Structure 1
Amino acid sequence: MKHLFIISLLLVFAFQNKGLSQVKKAKHVILIGFDGLGSYAFPKAEMPNLKKLMEGGSYSLEARTVLPSSSAVNWASMLMGAGPTAHGFTEWGSKTPEIPPYEVTKYGIFPSIFSLIRDQNPKAKTAAIFSWGGIGPLVEKDAIDVVYNGETEDLCLDRAIEVIKEGETTFMFLHLSEPDGVGHNIGHDTPEYYEELKTVDSKIKQIVDAVASAGLTEETIIMLSSDHGGVGKGHGGKSLEEIYIPWIISGPGVKTNHQINDLIMTYDTGATIAWILGLDVPQSWRGKPVGDSFDSY
């Protein structure tokens, strides 16, 4: 009887950890952030590579930004697992916190996914590659192996592909500035905006192809999201066109062709990455892993 009880416990433990073992196949996580990519555009957008990523994974087109629906505050929230009243970055171009952060790491700002990785897995390599200089103040540079602020999107993409092909980086964040530039200069929901989305889609293909050519597809999770959408030539407001952003995840252990109906906030992104990599999160984080995107959670 005692032996049966022990066997039952082992079976329960194995069942509960089935999903965790599947996700642990992922040795690499790539987070691609497209500035100003609003979910409102997806029904009209000609983006076969993006839609293939969605079909091969889990997705929501109703993930939400924090307010204001602007850049720095939302990129910070995405990477820091909490909202602006916790991390302190509250504006479009915040370079220093306007609100004193709840806590500050030894790297000088509120804890992000980068410091979690560095402190809990010092041998893991990370990269932050970005085309907008406003990302710089939001990342803990001393906790990151590769920090690259490229002058153009193409340079950033080339550097990201180099990092992927090296096959050593556990987590990479790639920020690209479009389609935000077109949104500001010409307008959201315009023919020019949708034309730019074709270029955005080609960049997704280059990243996916780089992962495949490096032989890393079976051990890499690719995530894709944005900081905000837009209306007219702007953003920052409270309309759904501004606050609804895509949230897409694909890779080992992830449900396929699955639409996530749970509420996703942008700060859940950092928490999901931490869960995939088996990291403990600080008490100050408010994000939680998007468990419905995994085969078992």
Structure 2
Amino acid sequence: MQKINPIIGVLLLLFIFSLAGCGSGTGEDNTPAWKAQHVVFIGLDGWGSYSVEKADMPNVKQLMKEGSYTLQKRTVLPSSSAVNWASMFMGAGPELHGYTTWGSQTPDLPSRELNRNGMFPNIFNLLKEAAPEAEIGAIYEWDGIKYLIDTLSLNYYRNVPNDNKLNTELTRFAVKYVKEKKPTLAAFIYDSPDDVGHADGHDTPGYYAKLKELDDQIGEIINAMKETGMYDNSIIIVTSDHGGIDKGHGGITMMEMETPFIIAGKGIQQGGEFQESMMQFDVAPTIADIFHLGPPQVWVGRSMKQVFY
């Protein structure tokens, strides 16, 4: 039997060890080779696309400039809150996930499929199943959100009622959470555009004043991300569940049905406005794409792949 040259043997062993390391799909920091290590999702309830051009929102418009966006993302019907937040998080419409009304707390129709937590498959559970150590959280003003976010898959969640009408409490908790935990996926959802839309009306001075205040709050979250050093390895999404007309919503006018979707950060095209059609249920598959998560068969949404390099 021919002997192997010792030098060749050492080289073969080094080659085998290198293959073992590469096969894990992880980087030098032992984190998954995702498109970005952090996703911060900021939702503005009741923010219609019609308002973007006129709104004084420099932080949001900087994200639009630095990333990709559409102002033609459409709601599912009805154009109201629970059914649309559910569709965003669950990758499907009400016919499948079963949440059909403004205030649905449980499925009004039997969900077509359930995960191990007894909920329709959603982006929070999908990430937690794939990466159990991922820090996942949600902070929200409208209490109805807690029925839609699969709290059993979250490390942290908190309802912060908008008592002072300035949204500073949610921002305070969001900034604290970012600085302390550097979350893998965080959802921060403000309710006040919808409140002002119902009280003062959509497309009114009061409505635009609220959007300006919220832009300041978004700026604080971005600054916190920069202070922690996570900003350069993050993707930020800013979007909405529905718009409105006069003092209401739920109908089929474009002011009610068209909502912004803005995405910026690591690996995102500085492509400006994209023209491909987008629905609410395309949001979850787009986030799943960032984390290389295969969408469940029951999801009907598609990733907006054109926004990625």
TM over 0.5: yes
Deviation at 1:146, TM superposition (A): 0.4
Aligned residue number for residue 280 of structure 1: 294
> Alpha carbon RMSD of aligned pairs, Å?
1.1
CA distance in 2 between counterparts of 1:168 and 1:201 reads 21
SS in 2 for 1:127: strand
Deviation at 1:166, TM superposition (A): 2.4
1:114 aligns with 2:124: yes
Aligned residue number for residue 72 of structure 2: 62
Match of 2:63 among 44, 53, 66: 53
CA distance in 2 between counterparts of 1:129 and 1:285 reads 25
Count of residue pairs the alignment pairs up:
273
1:229 aligns with 2:280: no
SS in 2 for 1:100: coil
CA distance in 1 between counterparts of 2:231 and 2:105 reads 36
Deviation at 1:161, TM superposition (A): 1.0
Deviation at 1:167, TM superposition (A): 4.4
Aligned residue number for residue 135 of structure 1: 145
SS in 2 for 1:31: strand
Deviation at 1:168, TM superposition (A): 3.5
Letter in 1 for 2:126: L
CA distance in 1 between counterparts of 2:298 and 2:175 reads 34
Does the CA-based 8 Å contact 1:167-1:216 persist in structure 2? no
1:262 aligns with 2:276: yes
Does the CA-based 8 Å contact 2:135-2:181 persist in structure 1? no
Aligned residue number for residue 29 of structure 2: none
Does the CA-based 8 Å contact 2:39-2:184 persist in structure 1? yes
Per the normalisation by structure 1, the TM-score is 0.90
Identity %: 44
Q: Within 5 Å, which residues of 2 pair with 1:8-157? A: 24-152=34-162, 153-157=167-171
Deviation at 1:225, TM superposition (A): 0.4
1:160 aligns with 2:174: yes
Does the CA-based 8 Å contact 2:69-2:263 persist in structure 1? yes
Deviations 1:226-252 (A, max 9, x none): 000000000000000000000000001
Match of 2:213 among 156, 174, 199: 199
CA distance in 2 between counterparts of 1:24 and 1:251 reads 13
Deviation at 1:25, TM superposition (A): 4.7
CA distance in 2 between counterparts of 1:92 and 1:25 reads 34
CA distance in 1 between counterparts of 2:84 and 2:35 reads 29
Aligned residue number for residue 191 of structure 2: 177
Does the CA-based 8 Å contact 2:182-2:230 persist in structure 1? no
Aligned residue number for residue 13 of structure 2: none
Does the CA-based 8 Å contact 2:36-2:234 persist in structure 1? yes
SS in 2 for 1:179: helix
Aligned residue number for residue 293 of structure 1: 307
Letter in 1 for 2:280: T
CA distance in 1 between counterparts of 2:50 and 2:108 reads 30
Deviation at 1:272, TM superposition (A): 0.5
Per the normalisation by structure 2, the TM-score is 0.86
Deviations 1:44-102 (A, max 9, x none): 11111111110010000111111100000000000001101110000000011111110
Structure 2: gaps spanning 5 or more residues: 1-32
